Amino acid sequence: MIIVMRKGASAEALAEVKKKIVKLGYQPHVIHGEIRNVVGAVGDERGKEKLQIIASLPGVERVVPILKPYKLASREVQPQPSTVEIVPGLEIGGNEFIVAAGPCAVENQQQICETAVAVKQAGARLLRGGAFKPRTSPYSFQGMEEDGLKLLAEARELTGLPIVTEVVNPRDVELVAKYADVMQVGARNTQNFALLKILGQLDKPILLKRGMATTIQEFLMSAEYILAEGNRRVILCERGIRTFENATRNTLDISAVPVLKQQTHLPVLIDPSHSTGHASLVAPMCYAAAAAGADGLIVEVHPCPEEASSDGPQSLRPDDFQRMMDKLRAFAAVAEREMAD
C-alpha cells in the first residue's frame, strides 16, 4: 500500500503513520517529496486490506494499493526517477551520462593501473574490474580475489576513480565491501536471494545485472529484495539475454531501457560488452544505449585484449575506447545528457 500524506503534514503525523504501519506488521519506507511525503507499507500481501485503517489518521490524504508485484521499485511508489550517489559529486540517474570502464578481470598491477589511467583520460567516471570471477567452466580463471581487490584500490588511489567490482558469494560480502565503492551482482546471481538480502543491508550502491533468462518483472523483483532490506541505492544493468541467436554472445535487449524507465524509478545502465561478445559491436551498442535513454554504460577495456585472462574478444583497446567516448558525446547530447570532459 501507498500512504499519501497531506501537503504540509507534520513530522509528528508522519511518525504516527510509521508507528501504525509497524504495529500492523508491515515495514514503512518513506519517500520524501518536495510537496508531500509518501509512505510505502511493504509486507505480506495477505491481509493488506487492514492498512486501509491508516486513512483515518491525522495528516493522511489517502491510502492507495500498489498494483505491481514489485513495490519499492515501482513508479507507483516513486513517480520521479531516482538518483544513486556513488561518492560525493558523482551520481547515476541524474543529468550526466556515466560510463564505467576497465578490464573484465584484474590480472596484475601494471594492467589495472594502465587501464585506469587510460579510461579516466577518455572520460570514464568509474573503474570496473573483476577480482572474483564466476565462470561457466570451473577450469577457467576465477580471479585474483583479495589480491585483485587490493590492486583495484591502488588504481583508485592513482586515478581517483571509484571502483565497481562483483561479489559472488554471500560470505565474501564483507570483504568486497571493504574495497568496493559499488557492489556488482552478476547475471548468474540475479536470483541469488540470500546474496541480495545481505546486500540490502549495506549502505553501498548495488549494480544489479539482469540474468541471462530473466524477465523484466523477475529482474525488478530481484531489485525488490535489495530495496526491501533498506538499501535504496540500486542501479539496474541490462547485459543481454539468451536467445536462439548465436551471432552475438547474448542478445542486447535495448528495448529493456524504455520499458524499465516506464516501470521503475531506478537508474538503468547498459553493458554492451557482455551482450555482444565482440569488440567491433561494442561502440554501436553504446550509441544505441544513449539514444534509448540509458543512464550510462559499463564497458570492458583492456590494454592487450589478445592476452586477457577473461573476455578478451569483447574488450576495447584504450585507443578504441577513446574514439568511442568522443563520438558518444553527440549521442548523449541528443538524449539531453551531459558527459564529463
Q: How far is CA 259 from CA 268, 270, 333, in A?
A: 11, 13, 21
End-to-end CA distance of the chain: 44
Residue whose grid cell is 538480502: 197
Kindly give, in sequence order, each residue whose CB lies less than 8 Å from that of residue 186, ignoring residues fewer than 6 positions away.
Answer: 134, 166, 168, 209
Lowest model confidence (mean pLDDT) among 113-127, 129-143, 326-340? 129-143
What residue ranges do the domains of the chain occupy?
A: 2-64, 84-334
Q: In this predicted model, what pLDDT tens digit does every residue of 142-186 receive, in sequence order?
A: 568 899 999 999 999 999 999 999 999 999 999 999 999 999 999
Q: Do the beta carbons of residue 102 and residue 119 sit within 8 Å?
A: yes
Q: Reply yes or no on whether the pLDDT at 100 is more than 80.
A: yes
Q: Reply yes or no on whether the pLDDT at 90 is more than 80.
A: yes
Kindly give, in sequence order, each residue whose CB lies less than 8 Å from that of residue 330, ignoring residues fewer than 6 positions away.
Answer: none
Q: Do the beta carbons of residue 76 and residue 65 sit within 8 Å?
A: no
pLDDT for 269 equals: 98
Q: How far is CA 49 from CA 41, 63, 64, 231, in A?
A: 11, 10, 10, 26
Residue whose grid cell is 499519501: 4
pLDDT band at 30 (very low <50, low <70, confident <90, very high): confident
Chain centroid offset of residue 50 CA? 34
Residue whose grid cell is 592513482: 158
DSSP string of 16-40, one letter each residue: HHHHHHHHTT-EEEEEE-SS-EEEE
Q: Would you state the cell numbers that stand for residue 132, as one nine-digit string?
A: 572474483
Domains 2-64 and 84-334 share a fold: no
Lowest model confidence (mean pLDDT) among 8-12, 129-133, 203-207? 129-133
Mean pLDDT of the chain: 93
Most confident residue range from 6-15, 117-126, 128-137, 138-147: 117-126
Could you count the other beta carbons within 10 Å of the beta carbon of residue 68? Answer: 17
pLDDT for 196 equals: 97
**pTM of the entire structure?**
0.89
- In three-state form (DSSP H/G/I as H, E/B as E, the rest C), the secondary structure along 233-294 is CEEEEECCECCCCCCCCCECCCCHHHHHHHHECCCEEECHHHHHCCHHHHHHHHHHHHHHCC
At position 324, the amino acid (one-letter code) is: M
Could you count the other beta carbons within 10 Å of the beta carbon of residue 69? Answer: 13
pLDDT band at 273 (very low <50, low <70, confident <90, very high): very high
What span, in angstroms and rounded, lies between the C-alpha atoms of 90 and 156? 15
What number is the average pLDDT over the span 231-239?
97
Q: What is the CATH architecture of 84-334?
A: Alpha-Beta Barrel (3.20)
pLDDT band at 264 (very low <50, low <70, confident <90, very high): very high
Q: Do the beta carbons of residue 236 and residue 210 sit within 8 Å?
A: yes
Lowest model confidence (mean pLDDT) among 7-16, 66-75, 198-207, 230-239? 66-75
Q: What is the CATH architecture of 2-64?
A: 2-Layer Sandwich (3.30)
